[in-house]
């Protein structure tokens, strides 16, 4: 079942892929995965690409290896843009990953961006904070007790990452131009305000945020491993 308008489906999976997931990849993806050294990089790549195909199959009934995914950048035309499924449905999705988890957000109304980060143990350097935070964000961080500043900074960072994933600009956006201290964010290169919200996840020591072009209610995260690999349904 597709997400209802105003609803966002969240899906979680560990970065270590199940044994049969490599066969879900398209030939060019399988070749790229094989070229990576065995270990975390290959596992994360394989799990991310297989997850995207498995979810498309779940929503559309298309066999995962036959799912068409476009990664054309809408700003420069290169093959590094935000991914989208080429289907007859109005689905939009976004992917985030850490060393241990992959998170995918799916909507049918508007666009979505999601980010997930592991909590650091040290506060940000003054240089990074000055380069990436707005004046209100720096004030908020300065007012935060020192032990809580790594979490506070990471929270602001996940909001910015989610927003720039939605717009497709990524880290090319000057983060100091994005103020995330309110639920509505104005992106200097995007025509409408973005709706921001922080996501509660059942993954210790991680933070996640969601950006959408419309007010959206996220569902509790579901595990991708509950889906079958035959059609994704």
User: Residue length, the chain?
Assistant: 233
Where in the chain are the domains? Answer: 1-110+214-233, 118-194
pLDDT tens across 17-64, in order? 999 999 999 999 999 999 999 999 999 999 999 999 999 999 999 999
Tell me the pLDDT tens digit for each residue of 110-163: 999 999 999 998 888 989 999 999 999 999 999 999 999 999 999 999 999 999
**pLDDT > 60? residue 91:** yes
One of 3.90.470.20, 3.30.420.40, 3.90.580.10, 1.20.1250.20 is the CATH number of 1-110+214-233, namely 3.90.470.20
Neighbouring residues of 115: CB distance < 8 A, sequence distance ≥ 6: 96, 157, 158, 159, 161, 162, 165, 208, 209
Given this model, what pLDDT does residue 230 score? Answer: 57
């Amino acid at each position: 079942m597709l997400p209802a308008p105003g609803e966002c489906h969240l899906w979680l999976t560990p970065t270590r892929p199940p044994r049969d997931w490599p066969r879900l990849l398209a030939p060019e993806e399988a070749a790229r995965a094989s070229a990576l050294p065995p270990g975390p990089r290959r596992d994360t790549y394989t799990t991310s690409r297989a997850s995207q195909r498995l979810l498309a199959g779940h929503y559309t009934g298309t066999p995962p290896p036959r799912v068409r995914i476009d990664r054309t950048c809408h700003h420069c035309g290169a093959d590094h843009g935000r991914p989208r499924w080429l289907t007859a449905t109005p689905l939009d999705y976004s992917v985030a990953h850490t060393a241990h988890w992959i998170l995918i957000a799916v909507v049918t109304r508007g666009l979505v961006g999601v980010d997930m980060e592991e909590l650091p143990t040290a506060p940000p350097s003054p240089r990074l904070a000055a380069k990436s935070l707005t004046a209100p964000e720096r004030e908020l961080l300065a007012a935060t007790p020192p032990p809580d500043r790594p979490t506070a900074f990471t929270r602001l960072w996940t909001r910015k990452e989610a927003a720039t994933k939605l717009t497709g600009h990524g880290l090319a956006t000057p983060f100091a131009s994005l103020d995330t201290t309110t639920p509505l964010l104005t992106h200097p290169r995007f025509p409408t305000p973005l709706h921001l919200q922080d996501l509660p996840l059942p993954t210790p020591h991680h933070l996640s945020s969601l950006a959408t072009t419309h007010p959206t209610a996220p569902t509790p995260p579901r595990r991708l491993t509950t889906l079958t690999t035959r059609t994704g349904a």
